[in-house]
Amino acid sequence: MPSYIHLLATALAALILTTSALAQTSELTESERKTFDLAIDLAERTNNRAAIGLLRPLHEAHPDNADIAYNLGICYINASGNPDSTLYFLQKVEALAPDAPWDEQRLVNNLAMARAYQLCGRPDDALRIYDLIAQKDTDELYAEVTQYERQVSNTAKILIANPVRLTMRDAGEGINSCWNDYKPVLTSTEDTMFFTSRRPKKTADKHIIFDDGQFEEGVYMSVRQGDKWSGSSTWSEAKPVNGLIPGRRKRIGQETTTALSPDGNEMYLCQDGDIYVSRRDSATREWLPATPLPYPINTEFEENWAFVTSDGQELYISSDRLGGFGGKDIWLCRKLPNGNWGKPFNLGPGVNTEDDEDAPFFHEPTNVLYFSSTGHSGMGGYDIFYSPRNDNGEFEASKNIGYPISSADDDLYFAPSADRDRGYYASIRWNEKGKAPSYDIYEVEFEQPEQNTMAILAANVTAPNLSDVKIFTLKDGEVIAIGRPSPKTGRFVTIVTAGEQFDLVATYGNDTITHHVSTLKTQSYRLLQQPIDIDDFVFTEKATPESLTADKKQETTFDNDFPSDELPYTVQIMSLRKSLDPKLLRGKIEIADIAEYKYRDGWFVYTYGNFSSYSEARKAQQDIRQTTPYTDAFARAKKQYDKYIKSRKQ
């Protein structure tokens, strides 16, 4: 299905230079003609704001000049943000030449008017014009565009008639400027926001400006002031975060935020179609120079978005690499047992289309993926969609998040809060403040929250070296999250479901501390408005293997009995240089089904299950690959393990 981005916008932008075909009654002077030509040149380079600034005085001097009125209307629609002005000027073109033939120029003028009606939230008026175009376009020059835009308008009618009940407000002057502000990423407590802006930095050369009239992209930070639920909170004046990506860049202006770790100590960025990660210095709290992620994450194609889960085991990226459905697709990479990233795989037709999908955000508590798309059924431009991940690990058919979050213009980078009661995203919206149209960041709070059960647990961690501490959150014996304390403060934060029970297992070397935590629904973060403090984790010294008791060893061992030959096949899930703690197993795998063996050269090998036939083992192999991070699992005959030494019993 063609999208507005690929069809109608291209038609409108291309025909901005078609001026001689329009009737006009007022001639321009030589000086005015130069101004007009300069405005057209600026518009061709997408600097529509500057073009409008030149064309408006010309229109005031020549109100009956159809060339000027037409190009003003096209500039307004391509600049977004003021569809009323688009309608005014394009309707004036119609009034100046009501008997003009229905040639390509007049068809495009009416297409632009219909688009302006869409942007004004008037899909019925847009449909009326699309019907007229279908009658007049006898050569079917724009039949494909018209058919698609009719579908967009019909979708808009349905969504506008059934709005999502919410409160929407822009993030305020501390964050939003007259320039593009977008890509918000927040800490888990929603008290600090990092975002991307194309405003001029104080240290930047203000003469370096792009063809579209904006400055280079930069990362900014702002801190919340006040209660986020009262509607009266504000954001502090945004400050630039400089020096994130070092070295000589291939081109100016490609340093953007995409994701932040829950503790706020890792930031994922994109520049020049590659993904980077920056970490905070534990002593100075300054951001260290970012490093690019390796292949197969970064490729010769464009990777322009990354989102990492809280345990660091899954990475969602947006890329136009080969093997997708078309345009930009969303892909998922899982971390392998050796610590490297596995090969990305496409999320499939429930998420991806032949157009563009971008800005994935995976909401872990509910297993729902949020993203933006031009290809699914939407209101025009990018809309925001969501897709649940089912028990088989597959993403189901996507749904539009609804109006007014999705609009007739571009809506991107949606980031829901932990409890999904709120969300943050960027959109181009028509406003009545007289501010030049640009991307702004908005906050939404749902009047009918989908759930109100997320709790935030916090603890202080003491250890000789905090960077060596890992904390695993387990529910019913299964690891659901992996985190680390702040390397400077020792503070640890994790998100869980209120009203349930959990085990938090902290490891430091071979020493382990476990806290059992029960939460009540009345302890949700929304109700408490603060984290739940649990018992501290205190490690006095790094434990050695010899310091562990026999009981502890028995608690953390796999089944080491070599399987009988009656069931000759198994599935090897991984091999490691050192022994694996069973508590670190991920996915729905029973420890009793895992056997641990050791090569003579010291490598540890882990197998899953015993099977009577190779086909049964292959089926188990596929299940393991699809439902766990162990995507390199493979079936093999157990006789191949004769060379292994069962070292744990010898």
Domain boundaries, the chain: 8-161, 166-446, 454-548, 554-649
Structure tokens at 285: 């709290």
Please give the structure tokens belonging to residue 29: 């002077």
- DSSP secondary structure letter of residue 202: T
Pairing of strands 532-533, 454-462: parallel
Asked if residue 481 has pLDDT above 80, the reply is no
The single residue listed with the structure tokens 């070397």 is 509
On whether the CB atoms of residues 289 and 301 are closer than 8 A, the answer is: no
Neighbours of 473 (CB within 10 A): 21
Decide if pLDDT at 553 tops 80.
no
Q: Tell me the H-state helices in 418-549.
A: 525-528
391-425: pLDDT as tens digits: 778 899 999 999 999 998 899 999 998 778 889 99
The alpha helices in 80-174, defined as continuous H runs, are 83-96, 104-119, 123-136, 143-161
Longest CA–CA separation in the chain, Å: 100
Residues present in the chain in total:
650
| Contact between residue 462 and residue 205 where contact means Cβ atoms under 8 Å apart | no
Region 561-566: what's the mean pLDDT?
A: 56
Is the Cβ–Cβ distance between 193 and 222 less than 8 Å? yes
Q: What contacts 324, CB < 8 A, 6 or more positions away?
A: 331, 346, 352
Mean pLDDT of 68-96: 85
Confidence tier at 549 by pLDDT (50, 70, 90): very low
Under the banding of pLDDT at 50, 70 and 90, the label for residue 13 is very low
Average pLDDT over residues 551-570: 58
- Give pLDDT tens digits for 422-474: 899 999 876 555 455 689 999 998 875 545 577 888 888 998 888 788 888 88
Provide CATH code, domain 454-548: 2.60.40.10
pLDDT at 601 over 70: no
What's the CA gap between 28 and 105, in Å, rounded?
21
Q: How far apart are CA 570 and CA 644, in angstroms?
A: 14
- What single string gives the DSSP state of each residue in 546-572? GGS-HHHHHHT--B-SPPPTTS-EEEE
Choose the CATH number for 166-446 among 2.115.10, 3.30.230, 2.30.29, 2.130.10: 2.115.10
Q: What angle do CA 419, 420, 425 make, to 5 degrees?
A: 130
Task: Retrieve residue 339's tokens.
Answer: 């610590």
Mean pLDDT value across residues 558-584: 70
Query: Does the pTM of the predicted model rise above 0.95?
Result: no
- Topology match between the domains 8-161 and 454-548: no
CA separation for the pair 211, 46 (Å, rounded): 7
- Strand-pair partners of 496: 455
Q: For 112, what's the count of Cα atoms within 13 Å in the CB-facing half-sphere?
A: 38
CATH 1.25.40.10 for domain 8-161, yes or no, is yes
Q: Which DSSP string corresponds to 96-117?
A: H-TT----HHHHHHHHHHHHHH
pLDDT at 266 over 60: yes
Helix axes of 143-161 and 104-119: crossing angle, nearest 10 degrees: 10
Q: Which helix (H) or strand (E) holds 50?
A: helix 48-61
Cα–Cα distance, 310 to 484 (Å, whole number): 10
Strand bridging mode 218-225 / 537-538: unpaired
Tokens of 100: 């003009």
Burial class (CB in 10 A: 0-12, 13-18, 19+), 214: buried
